[in-house]
Chains A and B, each alone.
Chain A
Amino acid sequence: MTSPFVKHLHSLRRHGLRRSRGLTRRALLQGAAASALAIPAFGLLRPEARAASGLAERIIFFYFPDGVPGPSQDGEASLWHASGSESSFTLGEALKGLEPWRDRCLFFNGLSLGATDTGSHPGGAKKLLTATDYGNNESIDQHLSRTVGADAWWRHLSLGVMAKADNASGDKLISYVGPGSPLSPEDNPSTAFGLLFGDGGSSTDDGGEPDATALRRASVLDANLEDLEELRAQLDGAERAKLDLHVEAVREVEQRVLGTSGGGGGTGSCEVPALSDSFTSEELYDPARFPDLLKTQIDLMVLSMACGLTRVGTLQCSHHTSELLMSRFPGTEMYDPSYDMRSHQASHYGSKHDWDKREFKAFVQQRQYWVDQFAYLLERLDAMPEGDGTMLDNSLVVLCTEVCDGNTHLHDNMPFVVAGGGGGAINNGRLLQYGYERHGKLFVSLARAMGEDLWSFGDSASGDLYGVLR
């Protein structure tokens, strides 16, 4: 009862495979000399450029907590949303950091989460990427990782910055692998870096064939699959579904190990330096280090995509109702060592936009900070040449938060921004205005921009969002 795989293993061994002289995780983590590694060192195959077919190569979701200074209780205009016409519009004060990028972005008015039954922040966060009440669905990032991202080295890269602080239950996470099952992002850049660029996954000999380490890993994974299949056959319902996901996960790793992943569209300029910064376990949750952590995670996200390791990424900054002490961010306008200002505290700035009020001023500054970080992500993507343009041209980058105005908690007029050209699929540089459209339709459009023939997503969105795609 020798499995086909074991036979294959025998045959490969007979051909005298050598052990890898390849990378060690330690060497990479130390990264004394920022060595430029050619993609083939990772066994990646350069995929057909999707851009040629007018489709988006990759998508990144960038989440920040606690909403924006939208229309106030007293009826003042939003300091976030753009106003004007489709092609001639003015950005809100809080969005001014995107002014240099306005031609590369789509802005929205009138996108709604619909009613959420579980309270404003928690309900919004569960519904934000699932487009379904109570998070009772997989989220769009996870969905795309299974479909258009399935042949990538890593189907999904989930990074966080203090997303697990004050969140032991994980109830405040936004990415859902299945109904009611959020996925923990990796808050530690070193751990994520080790996984992505360390000695995991595949290693190949000079001929591009899996080496002995890879073959043993593949044999172990093959054994896992046999056991999983045997156990799965005895089950039904939720327990069987659990193992189905487990099988999927093993297959993804197996693809990596055997080097049969298609890769996620490397740019050809895959530089693998050391991490730009490192953090002690205490620093991972020290608000004074938050800006450095976020920058490091953004760099890592861009780096892994430049190396073609993944097509779908999610970056969760903190979480809803955040206790994050943004007044401790050094070198920012918010910095105030004599007063602790939390994200969520600031979001309740009162009934009007009162610049003399400490909470309101801090809230606008905080939101400007998030927008600036989003702009930094765009800048990094735009600095990477890809095809005839840059990575940003072939990317979709989504800015999102779980409520509209942080004080009123409404879920209408959700402050989404989509940046990047999507390989030509997106007609950007415009303000799209709707009377009322569900945000699930935006996700349908984004999936279609990546080449998936999707027509509905979430609990009441069918069709795409008019005007997004070219």
Chain B
Amino acid sequence: MKRPFCLPPALLLPLALALACERGRKDDDPTTEAEVCEAPSAPPRQLRLLTRREYNRTVEDLFGGGSGASCDDDADCDITTESCSGGACLADPCTLHTFVFDPNGASVGRVHVAGTFNGWPGTEAAGGWPMEYIASLDLWVTKRALDEGQHQYKFVVDESTWMHDTANGVTVDDGYGGYNSVLNLECGEAEQVAADFPSETRPKGFGYDNHAASAIVSSTHVEMYLRAAEELSERALRDLPSVLPCDPDELGEEACLSALIEEFGRRAWRRPLTAAQAERLLTRALAEDSFDDGVAVVIQALLTSPYFLYRSELGQGVGAGAYVLTDHELAAALSYTLWGTTPDEALLDAADAGELHTADEREAAARRLLADPRARAHLQDFAVMWLEIQSNETASKASWVEDDFPALREDMEAEVRAFFEHVVFDGAGTVDSLLTSRTTYVDADLAELYGLTGVTGQSLEEVTLPEGQRGGVLGLGAVLAATSHSDSSSPILRGLFVRERLLCQPLGTPPADVPAIPEIASDATTRERFEQHTADPVCASCHQYIDPVGFGFEAYDAVGRYREQEGGKPVDASGDMVDVELMGAGTHAPFFTLGELGEILAESDAAELCFSRNVWRFTMGFEEESGDLCAIEALTAQGDDVQDLLIELVTSPEFVQREQR
């Protein structure tokens, strides 16, 4: 987290902020008055432009997401590429491979898969992967997650007969006069259609990429949307059945185009098209030279329409300036809040049937969405923005601090994602444990950085951090690196991280006319350099809220490596979480490790409320005002479980109500 203060944060920020506190304090300064809920208000009616993240996931679901056909189990889908999830056929991820053995009518008792990935076991008991018989297809099937790269395998029938996969033409000699089947699994990075779209902007401190009021469509956006839609329609034309609900030769071209507009249109626009909208699109499609061009123009027009690009939260007027979201707006609000992507068939059906308006109905839908892997991926994105670690992506570190930061920062982000997912979905689930959990995920490089032994591989492994050092989000390498400069830690950025990101207590900005900066001894430790500045009473007026907190991070260098010495001098990493609930209150909470700071924050009401405010912003796409605080405070009334907090939010009246602000 880097702040646009006018002084170089490493050395000089204390003075500037102090002056801001002295001279710039306004009547509503948070150091003198807590923000409280005043007259409650409904969220604003908004059009919410899809972010690049949302656009990518959405088109992935619309095109690469499988047929979307309704199903009861996998057998109803294209079993080699799809699975049945939420009542619809969805495409399997690349690394999920489907093994299929065709008995050709022969009666066999059991079949398992043996190969390089499981050590060629001759029996299921020895670790063979059992296959399941699907009577309706007369096939034996199992779906397994595999690493990318080359694998060899055979099918073992009744634990006695070894056979290669006759449906797979790639084989090698097995050394016994037969063949092993060869699987080359190459997935690569999924292509991100929206990768080149202009990046989102937002007010300083908001934190999330979906700030609706800042999202303006420029001509560059329009060009990019057009090209993306062309690319996607070309992709669709190469595999027409994936989007086309009919055969134009059977149904007739016009009727089939109509069906495409109705069905694909409903998925793309997250609601049924009106008759007039469908009609004018059909006219346009029929004006094209060929059926394929007609399909292309329909897909392109749908995907570049404001009805696709903006998620509507305008609602329907219910009188007296009040609005409520429509059924289909609610379906989209639920899926984008919990999945970051477009509603699935089940949600659209629920919207069609008007079954999302009661809190109970939305709770049931939300629980289903939270149980899906898409919720995990989406909430990992929340964590990255909540902790403001994106700055690592464009940061450089001094070679004498870290010689391969580009590799390390990828590990660090992966750790943040795994840590957050574990706490929220598989661990204690609470905001407290986000701040304190000592269970995290490291590979060999991160383990070395953290001084842990026993992890040697390049994939993340779950570890329990030793007591008395790091814990919770405060100790994550990504957070420590993001709150540092290239060559030095920054107690200021770290103190501000706690104050602003974790406690929602923003500090003022410095005034323009900052006077001269005192000279500093060059061999001083980072802490000593800052202490020289903050010894000044003028500086201290603001820095009493920042530096004592940031000093407590001094045992970690510019990439989060543990240290006991800096430049040959012992590090003093004692800190004081002053005024944790409210700046100016005059409380002290000394601590000696980040684990202890995490405990202090976990016990505070301010950190809990601040987390709710962050979830609110991420969900609502606007910065909360005092009128919104009533609703936000109510979110954690039942405890601080993160999933419960999301359920409370989507079942609250504010999720549904809107007003013209």
Check A181 against B283 for contact (C-beta < 8 Å). Answer: no
Residues of A within 8 A of B204 (CB): 122, 169, 171
Per a CB cutoff under 8 Å, which of A119, A212, A237 touches B510? A119
Given contacts A216-B288, A285-B394, contact A408 B214 (CB under 8 A): no
Most chain B beta-carbon contacts within 10 A, residue among A164, A177, A223: A223
A408 to B206, CA, bound (A): 29
Asked if B570 is at the interface (CB within 8 A of a chain A CB), the reply is no
- Taking the nearest CB of chain A, how far is it from the CB of B494, in angstroms? 16
Residues of A within 8 A of B223 (CB): 195, 200-201, 253
Check B301 against A223 for contact (C-beta < 8 Å). Answer: yes
Check B280 against A13 for contact (C-beta < 8 Å). Answer: no
Per a CB cutoff under 8 Å, which of B10, B307, B394 touches A162? B394
Check B514 against A253 for contact (C-beta < 8 Å). Answer: no
Q: State which of B114-122, B129-137, B195-203 sits at the interface with chain A.
A: B195-203
Most chain A beta-carbon contacts within 10 A, residue among B223, B229, B289, B304: B223
Per a CB cutoff under 8 Å, which of A3, A6, A252 touches B219? A252
Contact with A along B6-49 (1 / 0, CB 8 A): 11111110000000100000000000000000000000011100
Check B202 against A169 for contact (C-beta < 8 Å). Answer: yes
Residues of A within 8 A of B199 (CB): 164, 168, 170, 184
Residues of B within 8 A of A325 (CB): 396, 486
Residues of A within 8 A of B297 (CB): 216, 219-220, 223
- Taking the nearest CB of chain B, how far is it from the CB of A359, in angstroms? 9
Residues of B within 8 A of A122 (CB): 4, 6, 204, 509
Q: State which of B64-72, B105-113, B385-393, B411-419 sits at the interface with chain A.
A: B385-393
Check A183 against B396 for contact (C-beta < 8 Å). Answer: no
A52 to B55, CA, bound (A): 47
Contact with A along B214-256 (1 / 0, CB 8 A): 1111111111101101000000000000000000000000000
Check A245 against B512 for contact (C-beta < 8 Å). Answer: no
A227 to B390, CA, bound (A): 35
Most chain A beta-carbon contacts within 10 A, residue among B45, B47, B280, B394: B394
- Taking the nearest CB of chain A, how far is it from the CB of B56, in angstroms? 16
Check B516 against A350 for contact (C-beta < 8 Å). Answer: yes
Instruction: Give A contacts to B, CB under 8 Å.
Output: 1-3, 6, 9-10, 13, 73-74, 116, 118-123, 125, 154-156, 158, 162, 164-166, 168-173, 177-178, 180-184, 186, 188, 191, 195, 200-201, 212, 216-217, 219-224, 226-228, 230-231, 234-239, 242-243, 245-246, 248-250, 252-253, 282, 285-287, 320-321, 323, 325, 328, 337, 340, 342, 344-345, 347-348, 350-351, 403, 407-411
Check B486 against A342 for contact (C-beta < 8 Å). Answer: yes
A140 to B412, CA, bound (A): 41
Instruction: Name the CB-closest residue of A to B305.
Output: A227
- Residues of B474-489 whose CB lies within 8 A of A: 485-487
Residues of B within 8 A of A119 (CB): 4-6, 20, 509-512
Asked if B266 is at the interface (CB within 8 A of a chain A CB), the reply is no
Asked if B2 is at the interface (CB within 8 A of a chain A CB), the reply is yes
Residues of A within 8 A of B196 (CB): 188, 191
- Residues of B299-340 whose CB lies within 8 A of A: 300-301, 304-307, 314
Check A220 against B229 for contact (C-beta < 8 Å). Answer: yes
Residues of B within 8 A of A168 (CB): 199, 388, 390-391
Check B6 against A73 for contact (C-beta < 8 Å). Answer: no
Check B214 against A181 for contact (C-beta < 8 Å). Answer: yes
A402 to B90, CA, bound (A): 51
Asked if B368 is at the interface (CB within 8 A of a chain A CB), the reply is no
Given contacts A1-B283, A165-B394, contact A323 B485 (CB under 8 A): yes
- Taking the nearest CB of chain A, how far is it from the CB of B377, in angstroms? 19
Check B222 against A250 for contact (C-beta < 8 Å). Answer: yes
Per a CB cutoff under 8 Å, which of B217, B284, B487 touches A245? B217
Interface size on B, residues (CB 8 A): 85
- Residues of B375-403 whose CB lies within 8 A of A: 388, 390-391, 393-396, 398-399
Check B226 against A166 for contact (C-beta < 8 Å). Answer: no
- Taking the nearest CB of chain A, how far is it from the CB of B559, in angstroms? 14
Per a CB cutoff under 8 Å, which of B45, B201, B300 touches A169? B201
Per a CB cutoff under 8 Å, which of B202, B300, B509 touches A118? B509
Asked if B213 is at the interface (CB within 8 A of a chain A CB), the reply is yes
A10 to B287, CA, bound (A): 6
Check A351 against B217 for contact (C-beta < 8 Å). Answer: no
Instruction: Give B contacts to A, CB under 8 Å.
Output: 2-12, 20, 45-47, 196, 198-207, 213-224, 226-227, 229, 276-277, 279-281, 283-284, 287-289, 293, 296-297, 300-301, 304-307, 314, 388, 390-391, 393-396, 398-399, 406, 485-487, 509-517, 519, 660
Check B6 against A121 for contact (C-beta < 8 Å). Answer: yes
Check B5 against A321 for contact (C-beta < 8 Å). Answer: yes
Per a CB cutoff under 8 Å, which of B12, B205, B216, B219 touches A155? B219
Instruction: Name the CB-closest residue of A to B2.
Output: A166
A200 to B229, CA, bound (A): 13
Check A154 against B219 for contact (C-beta < 8 Å). Answer: yes
Contacts beyond the supplied A13-B289, A219-B284: 5 A-B pairs with Cβ under 8 Å: A166-B395, A181-B213, A183-B201, A403-B512, A410-B512
A68 to B425, CA, bound (A): 52
Given contacts A73-B516, A170-B199, A342-B8, contact A216 B300 (CB under 8 A): yes
Per a CB cutoff under 8 Å, which of A230, A243, A249 touches B218? A249
Most chain A beta-carbon contacts within 10 A, residue among B296, B305, B486, B512: B512
A219 to B297, CA, bound (A): 8
Check A9 against B512 for contact (C-beta < 8 Å). Answer: no
A403 to B512, CA, bound (A): 9
Residues of B within 8 A of A171 (CB): 4, 201-204
Check A180 against B287 for contact (C-beta < 8 Å). Answer: no
Most chain A beta-carbon contacts within 10 A, residue among B9, B199, B215, B288: B199
A348 to B10, CA, bound (A): 11
- Taking the nearest CB of chain B, how far is it from the CB of A169, in angstroms? 5
Per a CB cutoff under 8 Å, which of B5, B222, B307, B396 touches A249? B222
A164 to B390, CA, bound (A): 11
**Top 8 closest pairs, chain A to chain B, by CB:** A170-B201, A119-B509, A351-B516, A165-B394, A120-B6, A285-B394, A223-B301, A120-B512
Check B47 against A242 for contact (C-beta < 8 Å). Answer: yes
Check A231 against B220 for contact (C-beta < 8 Å). Answer: no
A223 to B306, CA, bound (A): 10
- Taking the nearest CB of chain B, how far is it from the CB of A385, in angstroms? 30
Residues of A within 8 A of B519 (CB): 350
Per a CB cutoff under 8 Å, which of A121, A219, A224, A321 touches B306? A224
Given contacts A169-B206, A224-B306, contact A409 B218 (CB under 8 A): no
Check A120 against B510 for contact (C-beta < 8 Å). Answer: yes
- Taking the nearest CB of chain B, how far is it from the CB of A137, in angstroms? 14
Check B281 against A223 for contact (C-beta < 8 Å). Answer: yes
Check B288 against A321 for contact (C-beta < 8 Å). Answer: no
A121 to B196, CA, bound (A): 29
A120 to B293, CA, bound (A): 55
Instruction: Name the CB-closest residue of A to B482.
Output: A166
A220 to B305, CA, bound (A): 9
Check A3 against B516 for contact (C-beta < 8 Å). Answer: no
Instruction: Name the CB-closest residue of A to B389.
Output: A168
Check A178 against B509 for contact (C-beta < 8 Å). Answer: no
A180 to B204, CA, bound (A): 11
Per a CB cutoff under 8 Å, which of A9, A74, A121, A340 touches B398? A340
Instruction: Name the CB-closest residue of B to A124.
Output: B512
Residues of B within 8 A of A345 (CB): 8, 10-11
Residues of A within 8 A of B11 (CB): 345, 348
A411 to B200, CA, bound (A): 29
Check A245 against B216 for contact (C-beta < 8 Å). Answer: yes
A323 to B279, CA, bound (A): 55
Check A224 against B6 for contact (C-beta < 8 Å). Answer: no
Per a CB cutoff under 8 Å, which of B214, B514, B515 touches A120? B514
A186 to B9, CA, bound (A): 27
Per a CB cutoff under 8 Å, which of A181, A223, A347, A410 touches B8? A347
Check B287 against A234 for contact (C-beta < 8 Å). Answer: no
A37 to B658, CA, bound (A): 54
A222 to B281, CA, bound (A): 11
A179 to B219, CA, bound (A): 18
